[in-house]
Structure 1
Amino acid sequence: MALSEQPAERHRQVAGLFTDRVRGTSGWDVPAPVAGWTARDVVRHLVEWCPGFVAAGAGVTLPQGPSVDDDPLAAWQVHRDGVQTVLDDPATAGREFTNPHLGSLPLAVAIDRFYTTDVFMHTWDLARATGQDDRLDADFCAELLGGMTQMEEVIRSSGQFGSRVEVPDGADAQTRLLGFIGRDPSWSPGLVGER
């Protein structure tokens, strides 16, 4: 299924897939592909950074659910629904988002560009950590990689991404994107501590 170009619908699709992976997780303390993280930390990251991002940039307060430590699924669902409500409401989606590093843009565009793409990429982390289907939309992988490659120096200096992992020539878009953001596409929980 191709992902929508509309921020509200794309979030619905991307967050829906992540929700499926959250529901399919039976062990929250298994290691994740991000060094030092567990499956629970993948959810924690998404639930915890976005509220400050939208509050600081647009003055929008997202609802707060239970702690990720107590109930990762409920914490994610409350957060996901709050973001979706913002995107579905033209009054909040069109609100100006201002950030000293990003300038000004509509809130829906800021959420789409920075948060929804983060959910998309972390879907692989959670799926890989928990042994679920980790395939991502190939076209969106290629689109993200194309945009990020043009800003590699800025991306690397932000500290938000690990060092590039080399992948084989001719690798598919998902593998190339994972390598670009510092993930080892062949990572598995069984390899943790064995390298």
Structure 2
Amino acid sequence: MNAIADRYRVRADAFEGKVAAVEAGQWENQSPCDEWNARDVVGHIVDMHGVMLRPFGRDLGPAPTLREDPLGAFRAARAEIEAILADPVLAATEHETPMGKVTAEQNIDQVVSADLVLHGWDLARATGQDDTIDPEEVARMWPEAQAIPEEMRTPGAFGPGVVVFGPEVKVPGDAPLQDRLLGLMGRDPNF
């Protein structure tokens, strides 16, 4: 495995653990994302896994429904992405993306893999789990968060109904780095 595949695996393991820990009565809990409950957060992650397959002319394969089995739906989507990352030819295939031409593995790393970290926090916060983000992840994401272009905060800039990041939430400059990162990513760390 390479660094991108390893990073995806670690992030997916952490997210899967959070999905597995959601109790039956918590799926409708409000998340820090205004329009999403806990189930919607997992649905977004599953949908984004499908987006990563589109350049290959693929869709997500048969899987449990999000309504019946959110954990099963995530595991099936995860398997599809891990298959791409495990295939050197597919992983190195270049595609045009909203951020320019990148390899499939770079796109997975920059989009859905990174999403697992942020939306893992959303899911944990919505369901009362430990919402601590690995400090190494926070440090890795911090420089990119500081450079988020305004167009990525503009609803619809990447298509109808697509919101990449919400407006920045002001956080004190002496707040923990995780809180400052969340604020830059449009999250209220005190949700």
- DSSP-derived class of the 2:107 partner: helix
Give 1:29 deviation, angstroms.
1.2
Where does the alignment leave 5 or more consecutive residues of structure 2 unmatched? 158-162
1:105-124 aligned at under 5 Å gives the runs: 105-124=102-121
Q: Deviations over 1:10-40 (max 9, x none)?
A: 0100010000000100021111111121110
CA contact (8 A) 1:148 1:155 kept: no
The two structures, once aligned, show a CA RMSD in angstroms of 1.8
CA contact (8 A) 1:164 1:181 kept: yes
Give 1:150 deviation, angstroms.
1.9
Q: Distance in 1 between matches of 2:137 and 2:57?
A: 29
Q: Distance in 2 between matches of 1:18 and 1:12?
A: 10
Q: Distance in 2 between matches of 1:112 and 1:161?
A: 17
Q: 1:79 to 1:93 in 2, by over 3 A?
A: same
Counterpart of 1:138 in structure 2 is 135
Counterpart of 1:45 in structure 2 is 44
1:5-44 aligned at under 5 Å gives the runs: 6-26=3-23, 27-44=26-43
Q: 1:52 to 1:119 in 2, by over 3 A?
A: same
Q: Distance in 1 between matches of 2:172 and 2:38?
A: 27
CA contact (8 A) 1:178 1:185 kept: yes
Report 1 or 2 for greater relative contact order, CA contacts < 8 Å, sequence distance ≥ 6: 1
Q: How many pairs does the alignment contain?
A: 182
Give 1:112 deviation, angstroms.
0.3
Q: Distance in 1 between matches of 2:106 and 2:175?
A: 30
> So what's the TM-score if we normalise by structure 1?
0.86
Q: Distance in 1 between matches of 2:184 and 2:99?
A: 22
Give 1:49 deviation, angstroms.
2.8
Q: Deviations over 1:115-173 (max 9, x none)?
A: 10011100000011111111112232232221132233232234321111111221222
1:31-180 aligned at under 5 Å gives the runs: 31-55=30-54, 57-99=55-97, 101-157=98-154, 158=157, 159-180=163-184
CA contact (8 A) 1:142 1:177 kept: no
Give 1:47 deviation, angstroms.
0.6
Give 1:5 deviation, angstroms.
7.9
Q: Distance in 1 between matches of 2:51 and 2:149?
A: 25
Give 1:84 deviation, angstroms.
1.2
Give 1:60 deviation, angstroms.
4.2
Q: Distance in 2 between matches of 1:31 and 1:102?
A: 31
